[in-house]
Chains A and B, each alone.
Chain A
Amino acid sequence: MENQELDTLIIKYISGEISNQELEQLKRMEGFSTYEKILKYSSDFKAPAIKNEVSYANFLKKHKRKSKPVVKLNRSYIISGIAATLLIFFGIFQFLLNTNQKYKTNFGEQLAVILPDSSEVILHASSSLNFNEKNWKTSRIVNLEGEAYFKVKKGSKFKVITNEGKVSVLGTQFTVNEQEDFFEVHCFEGKVMVERNGAEKIVIRGEAIRQIQNGVFEEWSITITKPSWQNFESNFNNTPLHYVFNNIKKVYGVDIIVENVNTEKRFSGSIPNNNLQVAIATVAQAMHLNYEIVNNKKVIFRP
């Protein structure tokens, strides 16, 4: 009981809330002298001290040491992040630019192109070919303008898309020749499917097919196994004269002027692709025409 009272009073004494009367009472209690001594001496104790200035300086050092590497790391992360992002964008950009492969030939040129699956394409004069290398595995699609010979490796469907029509195959050798309103396919091996203006036609080995404007498919058989123009010759089979002239223009890069000649007349035969004189003479003779060659640049046909 007394102990509890002592405790209460001593707490009041310490916190300075004790009244004079209580103080008198406390002073008479046993053990107060010891308590007073303890309190008096203990308040003179000191914990090991460190000067504020020293402590703060040390703190700043420590903070720098601790935070600096973090900041550095963060920065380098940000920088490398930016660099990586740029690289990726650059890479994608490059990739997109590069995946669309484009090949083009000028007058009288031929160009052999090996496709990613090692199918071969030989572009005839004044033609262009492009395809997407990136999607090649899933879709073998090439866009063609002009004339080309294809030797397609077996595999998924191979498509040749032109302005005039589509040819799809699984693996063969064939040529596609498209001009305005004119579409001709020669098949040397296997089978190809020709699609034009919604009509479909299957062409088998040794056959050739042609459609002019929206006319019927013209079919005939061929005996050659390679396109004639690969041997510097152009082979025509019952072809309207203006397509023959177009072909000459393409191969030789010349202007052809026709005066009073019916160009719908059809021509059959072979003309060389490396001798303008002979080529023109052959056509003129077969069609009973007169001609004049001006500076190897211009050819004039007259009846």
Chain B
Amino acid sequence: MMKQEEQSLCNSMVFENVYKTHVTTLRNYIYYKSGDIDLAEDIVQDCFIKALENCSKIILKTVKSYLFKVATNTFLNSVKHKKVVLEHQKLSPKVNTVNNENPEFVLEEKEFLNKLQDAISRLSEKQREVFLLNRINKKTFKEIAVLLNISVKAVEKRMSNALRALRKEVEGI
């Protein structure tokens, strides 16, 4: 009895835990799609509100896919798209002062990062979300496949398409 109660999403402790576990990935996912961090946060919070309202109906094990599904649907309803702007550690001036590299290399690196950043923002939504979930959120292809409710093969396909597009952009071909 106690165990069951503990595992219910309606329990505020459990819910808080679930929230903190999934909020970043979920927000990033929507951000990768929309490029609007405020929108992403909004959608994610709405999605958790929905989850809380239906907490008795959601099985804790499947809460993640539930959240992703609701987030995707909510996102599709809001058609605001913005350019995806990512921050890079190397682009912040602090890191540069620590790394004592030769100025030419630093400049080249900066240029490459800007190009990469641009290229990522020009990826299709589907390619970008897979690429960034893998690179930034360190999700395996299998995990992404579960989150997006597609096959691993499809994830791999999107990933290689993304890589090809990026290579094309950065090499300037």
Chain A: residues with CB nearer than 8 A to chain B? 3, 7, 10-11, 14-15, 31, 34-35, 37-39, 41-50, 52, 55-56, 58-59, 62-63, 66-67
Q: Could you mark each residue 122-163 of chain B with 1 if its beta carbon is under 8 Å from any beta carbon of chain A, else 0?
A: 000000000110111010110000000000000010011001
- Given contacts A37-B112, A41-B88, whether A11 and B135 have CB atoms under 8 Å apart is no
| B24:A15 contact, CB within 8 angstroms | no
Judge whether B31 is part of the interface by a CB distance below 8 angstroms: yes
Besides the known contacts A41-B88, A55-B23, A66-B49, 7 further A-B residue pairs in the complex with CB atoms under 8 A apart: A10-B163, A11-B160, A38-B116, A39-B163, A41-B90, A48-B31, A67-B49
Pick from A31, A34, A38, A43 the residue with the most CB of B within 10 Å: A38
Contacts of B112 in A (CB 8 A): 37, 41
| B37:A47 contact, CB within 8 angstroms | yes
A97 CB to closest chain B CB (Å) equals: 46
- Given contacts A37-B112, A59-B48, whether A14 and B86 have CB atoms under 8 Å apart is no
Interface of A is mostly: helix
Contacts of A59 in B (CB 8 A): 19, 45, 48-49
Judge whether B170 is part of the interface by a CB distance below 8 angstroms: yes
| B135:A45 contact, CB within 8 angstroms | yes
Contacts of B170 in A (CB 8 A): 34, 37-38
Return the chain A residue nearest B120 by Cβ. Answer: A42
Judge whether B41 is part of the interface by a CB distance below 8 angstroms: yes
Number of A-B pairs, beta carbon distance below 8 Å: 107
A72 CB to closest chain B CB (Å) equals: 16
> Contact residue range for chain B?
35 or more
| A35:B167 contact, CB within 8 angstroms | yes
Instruction: Give the contacting residue for A58; candidates B45, B140, B160; CB below 8 A.
Output: B45
Return the chain B residue nearest A40 by Cβ. Answer: B135
The 13 listed contacts between A and B (C-beta, < 8 Å) are: A10-B163, A11-B141, A14-B141, A15-B140, A35-B167, A41-B90, A41-B113, A47-B87, A50-B27, A55-B19, A55-B41, A56-B16, A63-B52
| B116:A42 contact, CB within 8 angstroms | yes
Judge whether B28 is part of the interface by a CB distance below 8 angstroms: yes
| B136:A45 contact, CB within 8 angstroms | yes
Return the chain B residue nearest A16 by Cβ. Answer: B140
| A46:B136 contact, CB within 8 angstroms | yes
| A38:B32 contact, CB within 8 angstroms | no
How distant is the Cα of A84 from the Cα of B123 in the complex, in angstroms? 60
| B160:A42 contact, CB within 8 angstroms | no
B173 CB to closest chain A CB (Å) equals: 10
Instruction: Give the contacting residue for A44; candidates B19, B45, B89, B166; CB below 8 A.
Output: B89
How distant is the Cα of A13 from the Cα of B102 in the complex, in angstroms? 30
- Given contacts A38-B163, A43-B135, whether A48 and B87 have CB atoms under 8 Å apart is yes
**The 7 nearest A-B residue pairs measured at CB:** A7-B160, A45-B86, A48-B37, A42-B135, A47-B28, A52-B20, A43-B135
How distant is the Cα of A37 from the Cα of B109 in the complex, in angstroms? 10
B116 CB to closest chain A CB (Å) equals: 6
How distant is the Cα of A46 from the Cα of B136 in the complex, in angstroms? 6
How distant is the Cα of A55 from the Cα of B51 in the complex, in angstroms? 16
Return the chain B residue nearest A44 by Cβ. Answer: B89
| A34:B156 contact, CB within 8 angstroms | no
How distant is the Cα of A7 from the Cα of B31 in the complex, in angstroms? 27
| B88:A46 contact, CB within 8 angstroms | yes
How distant is the Cα of A254 from the Cα of B99 in the complex, in angstroms? 127
| B140:A34 contact, CB within 8 angstroms | no
| A46:B87 contact, CB within 8 angstroms | yes
